[in-house]
Amino acid sequence: MNYRHAFHAGNFADVLKHAVLLGLIEALQAKPAPLCYLDTHAGSGRYLLGGEEARKTGEAAGGVLRLAAAHALPPPLQRYLDQVRALNAGDALDVYPGSPLLAAQALRADDRAVLCELHPEEAASLRALFRDDKRVHVHQRDGYAALKALLPPAEKRGLVLIDPPFEAQEDEFRAIEAALADAWKRWPGGVYAVWYPIKLRRHVLPFHRWLAASGMKNVWVAELLVHPDNTALRLNGAGMAIVNAPWQFERRLAAILPALARLLAPDGGQQRLERLTGERA
Ligand SMILES: C[S@@+](CC[C@H](N)C(=O)[O-])C[C@H]1O[C@@H](n2cnc3c(N)ncnc32)[C@H](O)[C@@H]1O
């Protein structure tokens, strides 16, 4: 477990993931019934863009800082940026929220968050961050195993974010498939969002084929490429696969993806929105 998200916080892949995550929470909150948010790989929850790790890579400069400098954003992206700005006192962005903090900011009083993080230091930071928030429960445990233990949630409505570090490269896709298949059997009505890296296209295609044949309904993939997907040597793009996508959620995705490609891949990036299964799987 060498991965530390602090090196990558606020990069283009985080922007895609977090904008989609916030959109999913907003869509679920169209109904008043409480929801449960489960984050299988939560990270530490809060990052400093001026911190040593973030400065070493400078990745936020190609991500959230580009959005912050933009003149006009589509409303869903503006709401995401507003949530980031809410953590920062002035115009400069230093604090960047991880998925748990972004979600917690959006959750209502009756909603609940369950955060799993295996790394002891990251889990300790997460615990400290949410010490006073009774809606948030932190577990230092394997996120995939937690799905078996914790699903379905008592609320019977909600969202699971699966955002592993992909240290196992392509094998991580197989772990996701196994976990997702089992989770979906336990809780077929849950919304699931899976983040994945895009290096070589051929590494991603088997996952898409698996999703298309999985029997799961309303599966969409939203991708952002900042470089061609033809080398395994760098992160060329990122994707979010969404299972049980809320009604007309693709419209929200279509509203943000072109702006993300324009802002985050100014030298000619690509975005892609594809339906893998529909209402009938
Ligand atoms: C990509 S980061 C998560 C970022 C976070 N979801 C966000 O968007 O802000 C992946 C995290 O998973 C943690 N991790 C690695 N293996 C894990 C496992 N089996 N179960 C839970 N967490 C794990 C790592 O320590 C790391 O903090």
pLDDT in tens, 143-157: 999 999 999 999 999
Is residue 231 over pLDDT 90?
no
Q: What gap in Å lies between CA 42 and CA 148, rounded to an integer?
A: 17
Dihedral of the alpha carbons of 228, 234, 237, 243, in degrees to the nearest 10: 130
Measured by CA distance, the residue closest to atom 12 of ligand 1 is 41
111 noted as active-site residue: no
> pLDDT at position 189, please?
97
- Residues near 91 by beta carbon (within 8 Å), at least 6 away in sequence: none
Question: pLDDT digits over 24-43, tens only?
Answer: 999 999 999 999 999 999 99
Instruction: Give the number of residues written for the chain.
Output: 281
* Ligand 1 neighbour 43 (Cβ under 6 A): yes
pLDDT number for residue 98: 98
Residue whose CA is at the smallest distance from ligand 1 atom 13? 41
Q: How far apart are CA 248 and CA 205, in angstroms?
A: 25
At residue 232, the pLDDT reads 87
pTM confidence score: 0.98
Q: Is the CB of 41 under 6 A from ligand 1?
A: yes
Express each pLDDT in 176-189 by its tens digit: 999 999 999 999 99
In angstroms, the CA 80 to CA 71 distance is 15
CATH topology (fold) of 16-45+99-277: Rossmann fold (3.40.50)
Is it true that the peptide bond before 74 is cis, omega within 30 degrees of 0? Answer: no
Task: State in Å: Cα 268 to ligand 1 middle.
Answer: 30
Report whether residue 277 contacts ligand 1, using a CB cutoff of 6 Å: no
Of 10-19, 136-145, 223-232, 245-254, the one with minimum mean pLDDT is 223-232
Q: Please tell me which residue in 82, 163, 182, 267 is annotated as part of the active site.
A: 163
- Which long-range contacts does 185-189 make (Cβ < 8 Å, 24+ apart)? 186/147, 186/148, 186/151, 186/152, 187/151, 187/152, 187/153, 189/152, 189/156, 189/157, 189/244
Mutate to test the pocket of ligand 1, among 20, 41, 150 (most ligand atoms within 8 A of CB): 41
CB within 8 Å of 90: residues ≥ 6 apart: none
Q: Is 84 in the pocket of ligand 1 (CB under 6 A)?
A: no
Number of the ligand 1 atom closest to the C-alpha atom of 9: 9
Any ligand 1 atom below 6 A from CB of 76: no
Q: What's the confidence (pLDDT) of residue 32? A: 98
163 lines ligand 1 (CB under 6 A): yes
Q: Which of 128, 141, 83, 87 is nearest to 107 (CA)?
A: 83
Residue 93 φ/ψ, nearest 5 degrees: -95, 115
